[in-house]
Amino acid sequence: MRISVHKCRDMNRYPSLITKKLGVNHAYILCSLLQEGDRPISAFASPLYVTTASVTDLVDRLEEIGYVRRKDHKTDRRVKLVSLTPKGRSFAKSL
DSSP characters over the chain: ----GGGG--GGG-HHHHHTT--HHHHHHHHHHHHH-SEEGGGGHHHHTS-HHHHHHHHHHHHHTTSEEEEE-SS-TT-EEEEE-HHHHHHHHH-
The pLDDT value recorded for residue 24 is: 85
CB atoms within 10 A of CB 8: 19
pTM: 0.81
Please state the rounded mean pLDDT for residues 76-93. 92
Q: What is the pLDDT of residues 24-80, one digit of tens each?
A: 899 899 999 999 999 999 999 998 899 999 999 999 999 999 999 999 989 988 889
